[in-house]
């Protein structure tokens, strides 16, 4: 929902706020090097195969507060490809991301006495694992991480006189550490930020991590999520290696990337580094999600198309939207409600006039019967209202965040609210019970949790005003109407180092929960702030799963490390502009790296209004986001895809292809769930040695082999697309092929209703016939598209297909309700063979799924082929199976190049059960 729509108004509020407290609270430029660092005074091995040491500060100073005198460092190779380096106060427990929220190994307990372990070696020492080597220098202390196979230094915290950064700093509210980087390292990650320069990190752009309700139209600004992880991709002498670096810390931080160095400046917590060895981009995400949590299993229907709008004022409007999608023959699986369904914007309620329950239940029964789903929004803020049952039960259970012993008061859409404390076990139970009660009222199919950064329309310590209504019920709902005073008296509300919050160095409690408020067990909001949305997501996931034991679907705006284990994400309040369309690709690709593969942007933009041409082009991109949803703002004109006939045509084309690709997308969902593999990926995931694609942010891959090359500029009817080396085939017209020698740009025709989508060689792509609802599309016959290198005498191709009962909470084999198929194909001197290997055949056989068509692309030879055999039996002339071949066109044949045509062969009329092994073969004429 819109919470930062009125940019001018929020900016004005911010300026007034800053003036009231004496101007912008920016830190005066500190020295670039703070202190002399630490020296290592002891080191010993631990019983679990790690090493633990102690550090002593070399020289105290007061910049940003006193140094912590003694530190404990713990180092362990936790797996063959994961190294942990944990540094904390040696004598006193410090805040860390709670171990129950993100399960992981505990470091050794702190010692009461320092310096009694054995003496350290004088010079550099090494601690080697299977893939990574940790080394340290004792005085001043620094550490390095190297790749064992080639000796490449991946992280190096040492500071020389010539470096722009200093030694490690560790104070109560200021931690600093840096690493040197080679000039040619390509870095990705550090979000959530709208990056104007594309997916690759750009030197000297600001990277601030602190969850904030700032509209996604704000560039280079800390947004809704905090993901302090980056991937580093390096190509040395034509060989690419990737690794990942996570700083597991929930406190606010600035990360300064200078091209040859990267510096963290963090306002609390500990240094808890995890290094992931890779060496491929896919391996990095695999190792990362093995640690933070594998992405959630998504129900099949969630991969269909979704329609939402803030401003569906009553149920008849929603019914009309569903009917109009059907009339326009545009696929639609899920209809959403923003807060229009609520009674006075209050969570878990229904507006009795605009959404009367009997009529809503009848509507839901109607759409559920055809396989459609319904999702509504909930915000964390619980309205302060003595007649409101959710509030009453929350107060009775003491579930709210506190300030000076009382529930902290804020304002969001219902007016005055309290925020549930999801670090409190009692809150989890209460929240689950409220979800249960609401589901009995309205059988929703998922929940959309918004405003959970947490967003607050006021700042500071507030009271409900006497003698005036708040909110008034007229005018913008985001204007603060509580009586509030600023809180600057504590070091938590006014820390010594000012991160670049909201891109303006605003106070960190601005428009959110006061950072001196506290959670369960006295945990400060200062420390736990960026975990708020994550903790709410976990509680919501548990609440939904406990309902009926079904697979939950949750969409969350605020995310943290590990959120992908529970929820999907959308990129927040974007604008209906060509620039925002372009930015969306980078953000979607970043979230795949963060382990949140189910992600998309509001198609056509959230506000203020897209042009007809832009909406055409946006659905051609958005149809291939992993999460595909059109969503618009209350104040924008209607922009459902049927509002313009031209957009409807583009939607039928693009979403028509998406619905044919649903088996492939669902298999990618399964691969994400078991290995973390992103659904939408940068091209360098499949082509890590091809450096031209390292900073490519205008195209993307679905899985390893389907490439989307959209038009992203106004008035263009062609697109210049990069084709990595190999053979590519148009999915919309398989007779069209592109053979890229060594990689090259090709200009493709792209009239208004056309999006270019290509399939890479060596792939077998499972598809179905599509439909207007995924339930219907899922029961249509399958086809396989086999792509060989064009014109090659020899080649092979592979593909996968995962099928299951998508209502089950777990997505796995071996439960009797799933089937997994490997597809293989070879061509050798004209002999073509396609076959399958099925695991757990029962589920697919019971469903009656079968393969009706196989298309093989890139074959050489003549149009004549010898006898077709299926499962060793010749197919006779009277069979209903049709065998045909046709020439394929090369779109990029250069002058003087071999113009040899390749062939496409189609075999139709098959009835090959998906759940049973098959083998099909024929010989091409030479």
757 neighbors 706 (Cβ within 8 angstroms): yes
Whether the CB-CB separation of 201 and 207 falls below 8 Å is answered with: yes
Distance of CA 900 to the CA centre of its chain: 43
Q: Which of 655, 609, 606, 669 minimizes the C-alpha distance to 632? A: 606
Q: Whole-angstrom Cα distance, residue 74 to residue 49?
A: 11
The strands making up 51-57's β-sheet, listed across from edge to edge, are 38-45, 51-57, 70-79, 82-89, 271-276, 239-247, 227-236, 186-191
Q: Which residue out of 343, 453, 580, 620 is catalytically annotated?
A: 453
Query: Do 300 and 740 contact (CB within 8 A), yes or no?
Result: no
Residue pair 615/649 in contact by the 8 Å Cβ criterion: no
- β-bridge pairing 554-556 and 568-570: parallel
Q: DSSP characters for 220-245? A: TS--S-BEEEEEEEEEETTEEEEEEE
How far, in Å, CA of 155 to CA of 175, rounded?
17
Distance CA 305, CA 672 (A): 20
**Known active-site residue 527:** no
**222, 343, 434, 450: which is the annotated catalytic residue?**
450
Respond yes or no: is residue 254 known to be catalytic: no
Measuring CA to CA, which residue among 542, 775, 580 is closest to residue 666? 775
> Which residues, in sequence order, are CB contacts of 20 under 8 Å at separation 6+?
486
Q: Which residues have CB under 8 Å from 856's CB, separation 6+?
A: 786, 788, 825, 827, 832, 834, 904, 905, 906, 907
Query: Which strands sit side by side in the sheet containing 382-383, from one edge to the other?
Result: 382-383, 415-418, 410-412
Residues 6+ apart with CB under 8 A from 489: none
**β 82-89/70-79 pair status:** antiparallel
Indicate the helix (H) or strand (E) that contains 673.
Answer: helix 662-675
Catalytic residue check, 96: no
Say if CB 252 and CB 266 are below 8 A apart. Answer: yes
**Helix, strand, or coil (residue 600):** strand
Token reading at 218:
């704000």
Q: Which of 573, 580, 613, 806 is catalytic?
A: 573
Q: Which residue has the tokens 């705006």?
A: 557
Q: How many helices (H) and strands (E) does the chain have?
A: 14, 52
Structure tokens given for 917: 């092994």
Residues 6+ apart with CB under 8 A from 521: 423
Phi-psi region of 742 (alpha: psi -120 to 50; beta: other; left: phi over 0): left
- Rounded CA-CA distance 758/741 in Å is 16
Q: Burial-class residue 382 by CB neighbours within 10 Å (0-12, 13-18, 19+).
A: buried
Can you tell me the distance from the alpha carbon of 302 to that of 892, in angstroms, rounded to the nearest whole number? 37
| Strand 763-768 relative to strand 782-787, pairing | antiparallel
For 390, residues 6+ apart whose C-beta sits below 8 A from its C-beta are 346, 347, 348, 349, 382, 383, 434
Give the C-alpha separation, 538 to 422, whole Å.
9
CB atoms within 10 A of CB 472: 11
- Sheet with 125-128, strands from edge to edge, namely 125-128, 132-137, 142-147, 153-156
Which residues are catalytically annotated? 450, 453, 573
């Amino acid at each position: 929902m819109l919470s930062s729509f009125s940019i001018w108004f929020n900016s004005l509020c911010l300026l007034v706020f800053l003036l009231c407290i004496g101007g912008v609270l920016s830190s005066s430029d500190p020295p670039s090097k703070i202190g002399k660092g630490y020296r290592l005074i002891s080191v010993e091995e631990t019983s679990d195969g790690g090493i633990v040491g102690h550090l002593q500060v070399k020289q105290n100073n007061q910049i940003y507060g006193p140094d912590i005198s003694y530190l404990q460092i713990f180092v362990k190779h936790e797996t063959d490809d994961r190294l942990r380096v944990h540094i904390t106060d040696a004598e006193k427990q410090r805040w860390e991301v709670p171990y129950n929220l993100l399960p992981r190994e505990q470091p050794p307990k702190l010692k009461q006495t320092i310096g009694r372990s054995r003496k350290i070696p004088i010079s550099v020492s090494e601690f080697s694992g299977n893939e990574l080597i940790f080394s340290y220098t004792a005085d001043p202390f620094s550490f390095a991480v190297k790749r064992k196979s080639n000796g490449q230094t991946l992280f190096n915290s040492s500071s020389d006189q010539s470096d722009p950064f200093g030694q490690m700093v560790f104070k109560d509210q200021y931690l600093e550490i840096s690493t040197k980087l080679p000039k040619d390292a390509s870095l990705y990650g550090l979000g959530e930020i709208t990056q104007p320069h594309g997916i690759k990190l750009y030197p000297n752009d600001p990277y601030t991590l602190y969850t904030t309700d700032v509209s996604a139209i704000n560039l280079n600004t800390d947004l809704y999520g905090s993901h302090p992880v980056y991937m580093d991709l390096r190509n040395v002498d034509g060989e690419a290696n990737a690794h990942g670096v996570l700083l597991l810390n929930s406190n606010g931080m600035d990360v300064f990337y200078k091209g040859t160095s990267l510096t963290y400046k963090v306002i609390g917590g500990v240094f808890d580094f995890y290094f992931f060895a890779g060496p491929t981009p896919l391996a990095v995400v695999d190792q990362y999600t093995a640690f933070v949590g594998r992405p959630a299993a998504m129900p099949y229907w969630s991969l269909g198309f979704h329609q939402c709008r803030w401003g569906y004022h009553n149920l008849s409007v929603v019914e009309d939207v569903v009917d109009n999608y059907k009339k326009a023959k545009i696929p639609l699986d899920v209809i959403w409600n923003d807060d229009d369904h609520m009674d006075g914007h209050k969570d878990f309620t229904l507006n009795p006039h605009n959404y009367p329950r009997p009529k809503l239940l009848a509507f839901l029964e109607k759409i559920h019967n055809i396989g459609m789903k319904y999702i509504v929004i909930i915000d964390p803020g619980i309205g302060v209202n003595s007649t409101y049952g959710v509030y009453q039960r929350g107060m009775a259970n003491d579930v709210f965040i506190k300030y000076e012993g009382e529930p902290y008061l804020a304002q969001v859409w219902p007016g005055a609210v309290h925020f549930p404390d999801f670090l409190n076990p009692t809150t989890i139970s209460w929240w689950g019970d409220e979800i249960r009660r609401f589901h009995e009222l309205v059988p929703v199919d998922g929940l959309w949790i918004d405003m959970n950064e947490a967003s607050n329309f006021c700042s500071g310590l507030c009271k409900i005003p006497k003698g005036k209504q708040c909110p008034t019920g007229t005018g913008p709902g985001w204007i603060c109407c509580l009586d509030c005073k600023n809180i600057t008296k504590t070091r938590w509300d006014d820390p010594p180092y000012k991160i670049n919050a909201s891109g303006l160095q605003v106070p960190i409690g601005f428009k959110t929960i006061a950072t001196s408020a506290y959670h369960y067990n006295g945990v400060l909001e200062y420390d736990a702030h960026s975990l708020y949305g994550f903790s709410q997501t976990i509680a919501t996931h548990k609440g939904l799963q406990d309902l009926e034991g079904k697979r939950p679907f949750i969409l969350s705006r605020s995310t943290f490390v590990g959120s992908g284990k529970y929820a999907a994400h959308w990129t927040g309040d974007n604008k209906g502009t060509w620039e925002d369309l372009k930015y969306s690709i980078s953000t979607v690709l970043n979230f795949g790296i963060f382990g949140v593969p189910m992600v998309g942007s509001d198609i056509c933009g959230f506000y203020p209004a897209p042009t007809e041409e832009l909406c055409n082009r946006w659905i051609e991109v958005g149809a291939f986001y992993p999460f595909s949803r059109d969503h618009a703002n209350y104040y924008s004109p209607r922009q459902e895809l049927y509002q313009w006939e031209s957009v409807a045509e583009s939607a039928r084309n693009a979403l028509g292809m998406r619905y044919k690709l649903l088996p492939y997308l669902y298999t990618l969902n399964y691969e994400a769930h078991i290995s973390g593999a992103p659904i939408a990926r940068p091209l360098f995931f499949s082509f890590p040695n091809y450096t031209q694609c390292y900073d490519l942010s205008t195209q993307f891959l679905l899985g390893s082999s389907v490439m989307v090359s959209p038009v992203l500029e106004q008035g263009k009817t062609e697109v210049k697309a990069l084709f990595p080396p190999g053979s590519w085939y148009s999915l919309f017209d398989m007779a069209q092929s592109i053979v890229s020698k060594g990689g090259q740009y090709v200009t493709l025709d792209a009239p208004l209703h056309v999006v270019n989508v290509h399939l890479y060689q060596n792939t077998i792509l499972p598809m179905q016939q599509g439909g207007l609802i995924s339930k219907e599309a899922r029961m249509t016959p399958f086809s396989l598209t086999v792509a060989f290198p064009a014109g090659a005498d020899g080649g092979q191709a592979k593909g996968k297909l995962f099928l299951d009962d998508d209502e089950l909470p777990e997505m796995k084999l071996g439960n009797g309700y799933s089937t997994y198929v490997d597809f293989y194909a070879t061509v050798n001197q004209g002999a073509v063979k396609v076959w399958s290997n099925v695991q757990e055949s029962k589920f697919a056989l019971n469903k009656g799924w079968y393969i009706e068509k196989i298309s093989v692309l890139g074959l050489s030879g003549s149009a004549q082929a010898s006898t077709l055999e299926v499962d060793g039996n010749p197919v006779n002339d009277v069979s209903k199976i049709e065998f045909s071949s046709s020439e394929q066109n090369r779109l990029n044949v250069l002058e003087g190049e071999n113009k040899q045509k390749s062939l496409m062969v189609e075999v139709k009329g098959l009835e090959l059960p998906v759940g049973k092994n098959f083998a099909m073969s024929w010989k091409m004429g030479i």
